[in-house]
A = this chain, B = another copy of it.
């Protein structure tokens, strides 16, 4: 006789397997699918989403959760207890959504992504606007279903990505951060010593970029036996499940940063996925805490490691070998300063460490307007451009490099962006603790050894699954609540050096 807990686990793991079929289909849609496949793919994704949802909300799951809770008794902290608690959170949430809505959101966002991709290529926002409007309306409907007391519609969506966090608390974190960042950007803008960006805009042949960025991903610890990297219009990481995690990136032969730091970023996500307990697939103990914590992993490897001096002490000679004609005459110092240029720029995913969060704040504002009903899809370009100018002192030359640059809204991912900025905060706070715990990493990094940090992350974060909410995990790991001080200290220390300020 198996216990209710065991039955629950079996059922949840089957649902997770079915969901992972949807992940493969979604990944393939972005990497290889021919244009003619769009319609069938949206039907497939919608069908899988519907099946997952109806199984996730079957009364049997509710009964098993209740029975498993009874089996647990006083235990609220064991792995089992975590799994049941998280199963319950998901069950309660899922039961609020009608099957029909789930299938419809899946179908429309699958097509929406195709439409976005085409419209972006042709810089044709009006072609995308009706799709965006339809998605916004579906997400508002979803939010109304999920709404808990004291939440805004936006909060209800945010909760899916960052459990138990409200837009007000994010706003409270963002406001002072914004001030400090704007001050730092201004200080940097006035610095006399300017790095030379042009050396990153020489010829970087695609084959070399592929090999070099793959090497770096492998060196920091992404396991290519259990994953791979492909190309897509918008880089992403998709952990299908145990043993299979996919990264994507994109290449520009006249630009070094995009593919390289994009790959490090996605590899950071991928290492989190690869570090989850495979036996707990589909359960709380085998899932990432939140998107913010996920992003802390990608941003840590991309920026705190990948844009550090000691990282390049090891990798720069290899880069010079790979791109001899472009980097042969460049010094490590010039290169290090160039990859750390701080400047207002158009594209979020290519933004530097300092201005990045401002891109997020802009999107956070617009998303709230869209959800409150204060902004319609057709008016997005106008409001985007106006606020972009206020933040960055320039207007995007077109919507492709403006409000259409990101895949998220077309994929229905509203409430997702702020987790990126939270990720930066988490990353710095974790990293400064890791440095302290491990007595620094520089001596290892210069030798191309990243195992100490990876192991620290494995035991402090990855292997813990959803044992704690993000806010509690930060406290458990670092001893303090979420704090923007480590990020600001890091940025100020680093960039006064890079820009020879003060």
Contact = CB atoms under 8 A, between A and B. Distances in A.
B14 A225 contact: no
Interface in A238-297: 240-244
Given A40-B241, A40-B243, A41-B244, A224 B47 contact: no
Interface residues of A, number: 35
A14 B244 contact: no
A267 to B, nearest CB: 14
B242 A39 contact: yes
A73 interface: no
Given A25-B24, A51-B51, A240 B18 contact: no
Contacts of A226: 34-37
Contacts of A243: 34, 36-40
Interface in A43-57: 43-44, 47-48, 51
A230 interface: yes
Given A24-B24, A25-B24, A17 B44 contact: yes
A21 interface: yes
Interface in A31-83: 32-41, 43-44, 47-48, 51
Given A28-B28, A241-B40, A227 B21 contact: no
Given A14-B47, A44-B24, A47-B17, A32 B240 contact: no
Given A25-B21, A40-B243, A228 B47 contact: no
Contacts of A241: 40
A401 B243 CA distance: 31
B40 A242 contact: yes
Interface in A166-196: none
A20 interface: yes
A455 to B, nearest CB: 20
A398 interface: no
Nearest to A230: B32
B51 A244 contact: no
Given A14-B47, A40-B242, A225 B35 contact: yes
Q: Oligomeric state, in number of copies? A: 2
Interface in A196-244: 223-228, 230, 240-244
Contacts of A48: 21
A409 B40 CA distance: 30
A265 to B, nearest CB: 20
A489 B471 CA distance: 79
Nearest to A240: B40
Given A225-B34, A225-B35, A40 B17 contact: yes
B34 A244 contact: yes
A249 to B, nearest CB: 15
Contacts of A37: 226, 240, 243-244
B20 A40 contact: yes
Contacts of A228: 32, 34
Contacts of A40: 17, 20, 240-244
B34 A28 contact: no
| Residue among A43, A241, A242 with the highest chain B CB neighbour number at 10 A | A43
Nearest to A21: B44
Interface centre among A17, A223, A225 (most CB of B within 10 A): A17
Contacts of A18: 44, 47, 51
B44 A225 contact: no
A240 B41 CA distance: 9
Contacts of A244: 33-34, 36-37, 40-41
A36 B230 contact: no
A17 B40 CA distance: 8
Interface of A: 14, 17-18, 20-21, 24-25, 28, 32-41, 43-44, 47-48, 51, 223-228, 230, 240-244
Given A24-B24, A34-B226, A37-B240, 10 more contacts: A17-B44, A21-B44, A24-B25, A34-B244, A35-B226, A36-B225, A36-B227, A36-B244, A41-B244, A51-B51
24 contacts: A17-B40, A17-B43, A18-B47, A20-B44, A21-B21, A21-B48, A24-B24, A24-B44, A34-B224, A34-B225, A35-B225, A36-B223, A36-B225, A36-B243, A36-B244, A37-B226, A37-B240, A37-B243, A37-B244, A40-B240, A40-B241, A40-B243, A40-B244, A51-B51
